[in-house]
Amino acid sequence: MNANFGLFNTVPDDVLHFGRGQEFIPKRVPELLGLKKEDVSRLSSVSVKSVRYDENMPEQMRDRLEEIANIINMVATEFDGDAEKTASWFKARNPLLGDVSPRDMIRLGRYERLRKFIINALIERSGKPYSHAAAA
């Protein structure tokens, strides 16, 4: 973790292979985090009946899952792409988050707070601004 923080290097590498754009596989996000249909409904502000993972998926749900995939990849980079360690980190209670797990932060709609926490932790850990390109 080093190098310069810049406008165009703020999206982490896809180390857990969620895909990007048309290749994005949204179902992998709740699978990795163990999220239920109700959780996905709440975090994306769509009806439980609208939660689906095909071409008719609500756009706001897809967008939110892509955002979550990005922060998962930031953490996964720190674990050298190890999906099990990454999932464990998201599921473990964290005293720096008020003894709440990162997964529960997402479930409770505190995604933005968690994203900022992760970025700040990465900056603090490296002593320099976060750059996924330098981590690769």
- Residue 4, domain member (yes or no): no
Residue with token string 């320099």: 128
- Tell me if 5 sits within 8 A of 59, measured CB to CB: no
pLDDT of residue 8: 53
Number of domains forming the structure of the chain: 1
Enter the pTM of the model: 0.84
- Residue 59, domain member (yes or no): yes
- Residue 57, domain member (yes or no): yes
Looking at the DSSP assignment, which residues form a beta bridge with residue 100? 94
Query: Who's near 115: CB < 8 A, 6+ residues apart?
Result: 67, 71
Give the 3-state DSSP-derived string for the chain, with helices as H, strands as E and coil as C. Answer: CCCCCCHHHCCCCCCCCCCCHHHCCCCHHHHHHCCCHHHHHHHHCCCHHHCCCCCCCCHHHHHHHHHHHHHHHHHHHHCCCCHHHHHHHHHCCEHHHCCECHHHHHHCCCHHHHHHHHHHHHHHHHCCCCCHHHHC
- Residue 73, domain member (yes or no): yes
Domain span at 102? 16-135
Digitized pLDDT (tens) for each residue of the chain, 136 residues in all: 334 444 555 678 899 999 998 999 999 999 999 999 999 999 999 999 999 999 999 999 999 999 999 999 999 999 999 999 999 999 999 999 999 999 999 998 899 999 999 988 888 887 655 455 444 4
- Tell me if 86 sits within 8 A of 79, measured CB to CB: yes
- Residue 7, domain member (yes or no): no
- Residue 10, domain member (yes or no): no
pLDDT tens digits for range 30-39 = 999 999 999 9
